[in-house]
Amino acid sequence: MSATKLKQALRRAARAERDPATATPCTAVAETDNGVLQRYTAAAGQPSGHGRPLLIVYSLVNRPAILDLSPERSVVARLSAAGLDVHLLAWHPPGQARQPLGLADYVLGDIEDAVHWLDKHYGTPPHVLGICQGGVLALCHAAIAGLTTPRSLTTLAAPVDTGTPGDRLAELARDIDFDALVKATGNITGPGLASVFAGLKPFALGPRRYRGLEALAEADDEAITTFMRMERWMYDGPDLAARAFAEFAREIYQRNALVHGELALDGHPVRLGDLRIPAFNAYALDDHLVPPAAASALGEHLGGPCHTQAIRGGHLGLFISGEAHRALYPELINWLATTEGAP
């Protein structure tokens, strides 16, 4: 890249960096102890959700902006345009006050409060869509007896069986004393985790990033805005509550307790075999963070039917690739419609 083009790209990127992090407007409709329940509203002239509510439970590790980077590749806008009333449980950053929060606080508290609020407000239980780590949290909620039952459960890139071959995060976690780690460090920083994830695939992410920077000099404003939103998403992750991080790493990645039926949250057993609501599970075939075998195993452990779909590409492709928006989300929307008539 020439110096002139680099300067042009950097100037345009600096202007775009001031734009909002997401494309679709949203408003806060309720609060939980550790999050805000947001409802997405369509931009002017676009269709708006008006049907059964859908709740997105996102990972604690990243911010949910990847679901709404641009109008053309927005998961929330696509679901809303299909007639679903899309909501997101947006997590508060933990800070020191939330350092003692465990997985039970998020699952039995915030997720249950959000599902119950939507059920009461709409007079019908919501569909729940759990993404990556959020998929595991949503699975735990749906599988615990006595909590508000969702209409259906969808998981995208959820690390269900971390005992499968080639799971690099599980291999990294194997010999770490996570309780001692968080005792020494407190909350886990977002930039620190981003470095770990980037280190799993450094030679793919680095060159791709700089090729994208060179293209900015010739790109239109929308492409630049999308590029900067992606950059912000990749390197501006939130901190994680110390206890919840240690519990997730130990129970999911070291003990593989979810599929072994050995996971309990605050004394409430999580039994996937008891989960009989309609389930949809999707994953990416070249995902280096959640390998296909780790995600595809879900159907083997549920007590009810599970519709499974795989797409080509990597982890982020599930949310922003052309194939995901051509094939995965239309399939998911059609599947959700079929659950409306199920008992």
pLDDT of amino acid 127? 98
157 domain-assigned: yes
Regarding beta strands 264-265 and 85-91, do their DSSP bridges make them parallel or antiparallel, or are they unpaired?
Answer: unpaired
Tell me which residue range forms the domain holding 163.
21-170+241-339
> pLDDT band at 12, cuts 50/70/90?
low
212 domain-assigned: no
51 domain-assigned: yes
Regarding beta strands 152-156 and 279-284, do their DSSP bridges make them parallel or antiparallel, or are they unpaired?
Answer: parallel
Average pLDDT, the chain: 86
Single out the catalytic residue among 26, 132, 140, 306. Answer: 132
259 domain-assigned: yes
Total structural domains in the chain?
A: 1
- Answer yes or no: 132 catalytic: yes
**pTM score of the predicted model:** 0.86
213 domain-assigned: no
Secondary structure of residue 233 in the 3-state scheme: helix
196 domain-assigned: no
Query: What CA–CA distances, in Å, run from 296 to 183, 310, 336?
Result: 34, 8, 19
Size (the chain), residues: 343
247 domain-assigned: yes
141 domain-assigned: yes
Q: Is the pLDDT of residue 43 over 70?
A: no
Average pLDDT over residues 87-99: 92
Average pLDDT over residues 110-123: 97
CATH number at residue 67: 3.40.50.1820
pLDDT digits (tens, 9 = 90+) for 288-315: 999 999 999 999 999 999 999 999 999 9
Residues 6+ apart with CB under 8 A from 199: none
Average pLDDT over residues 113-136: 97
Judge contact between 162 and 135, C-beta under 8 A.
Answer: no
